[in-house]
Amino acid sequence: MAQQLLRLLLRVSEKAANVARICRQETPLFELLVQEKTGEDKNKKFVRDFKTLADVVIQEMIRHDVCVQFPELKGFIHGEESNKFDNGLGESVLVTVCALEEETATMLATVLDGNHKAASLLAAAIHQDLQLTDEMAESLELPLHPSDLALWIDPIDATSQYIKGQVEVVAEGEICPSGLQCALVLIGAYLRATGEPVIGVINQPFAERDLVSQSWKGQHFWGVSCGSINAFSIPKPICHTAEESLSIVLSSSEKQVVKDALTPLCGGRFIYAAGAGYKTLCVILNLADVYVLSEGSTFKWDSCASHALLRAMGGGVIDLKESLLSFEKDESPRELTYHQARPGSQGAERWANHGGLIAYLDNNKLKTVIGALLGKL
């Protein structure tokens, strides 16, 4: 049943976070991560670049571990990355996680241009048997069958922040505008039939740094929304204040016309942060009221996990353009769905959230924001 799936997703998200941390902590991997390959060197190597490989490896590890326990999900686990790597000589290799650590290390060494040290370190992290205890998740019973579900994985959201590795120091309860804290592992499950997001797991590998050892501690969040069951693990109580001014989190690249339309709602005091996943997490943690994005620059894997969490908490993520149209017709806002590719689009664009989005917890605040954007986009 799906409660076992939730527990497994929590475990694999922790393994994924661990791989992300190890790639920054272990010198042979870190050197590859920050190395920029240019010119001839870039074309000769098997690896397009190591940061892509780190993403792919995490995605394939999640796919492998989930399929071992839930074979019915085979073919229904989708992610941001393709696991096919090409070199300039027309050769290609499929990056897969093998049954044995040694086999995975051998496969990785071929894409890492014979770097056995890096390959072994990575394979060890992938095959680690990591446990994660979450009492609330363990006591939950879910009326869902894994064979009705499919997954979207974003192995590392805000990859550029992950590579740059900047450390932002902010007070507790404040939003990080950028830095390692914005990098997240996102795993969302949706219903194959309707595309409704039902289980969300978010793991933040770099949540807190120990000042003495300089090592990072992560944190994770989950939410489940199916039928009458709405459960979530959010450490802080949610307090919906009746404040008049809204706190709105935006991408630093948001359009001026959108900011102008929203200025009366927040006095122009916008909050900017990196990462689509992280901005949505800010709404989940009640650090912001809404995340507004007018562009189609996010994808199903960016929003599925946090959407399930927000639904569990009474909020959601809507398609902005469609919801503006339905608002005019006095209809309810349109929630994003996850099962259908956009007809006529190619590649990743098929899975873009084309109409932009608004992530929200409070319905009234959502309506206020839609009202302010009406006729402005």
- DSSP code for 315: -
Part in contact with Ca ion (CB under 5 A); list of ranges 19-27, 40-48, 301-309, 318-326: 301-309
- Asked if residue 14 belongs to a known ligand binding site, the reply is no
**Does 157 qualify as catalytic in the annotation?**
yes
Place of tokens 């199903």: 300
- Cβ within 8 Å of residue 71, ≥6 positions away: none
d(CA 29, CA 165): 14
**Does 302 qualify as catalytic in the annotation?**
yes
- Asked if residue 302 belongs to a known ligand binding site, the reply is yes
User: Which among ligand 2IP, Ca ion, none contacts residue 297 (Cβ within 5 to 8 A by kind)?
Assistant: ligand 2IP
CB of 221 to ligand 2IP, least distance (A): 17
Q: Please say which residue, 157 or 362, places its beta carbon nearer to Ca ion.
A: 157
**Does 156 qualify as catalytic in the annotation?**
yes
Which amino acid, residue 271?
Answer: I
Q: Which of 60, 81, 154, 362 binds ligand 2IP (CB under 6 A)?
A: 154
Instruction: Sheet with 248-250: list strands edge to edge.
Output: 271-272, 248-250, 290-293, 357-360, 316-319
User: Which among ligand 2IP, Ca ion, none contacts residue 373 (Cβ within 5 to 8 A by kind)?
Assistant: none
Ordered alpha helix ranges (H), 197-340: 256-266, 276-284, 300-312, 320-328
Q: Which of 214, 228, 241, 253 binds ligand 2IP (CB under 6 A)?
A: 253
- Asked if residue 156 belongs to a known ligand binding site, the reply is yes
Residue 352 lies near ligand 2IP (rule: CB under 6 A):
no
Residue 157 lies near Ca ion (rule: CB under 5 A):
yes
Active-site choice (302, 319, 335, 362): 302
d(CA 357, CA 339): 17
Q: Is the dihedral of CA 239, 240, 245, 250 positive or negative?
A: positive
Q: Which of 275, 296, 315, 356 binds ligand 2IP (CB under 6 A)?
A: 275
Q: Measuring CA to CA, how many Å separate 336 from each of 12, 31, 105, 265, 339? A: 25, 39, 39, 24, 10
HSE, CB side, 13 Å, CA atoms: give it for residue 278. Answer: 28
Residue 302 lies near Ca ion (rule: CB under 5 A):
yes
**Does 159 qualify as catalytic in the annotation?**
yes
d(CA 326, CA 332): 6
User: Which among ligand 2IP, Ca ion, none contacts residue 196 (Cβ within 5 to 8 A by kind)?
Assistant: none
Q: Name the site residues for ligand 2IP (rule: CB under 6 A).
A: 80, 154, 157-159, 251, 253, 274-276, 297-298, 302
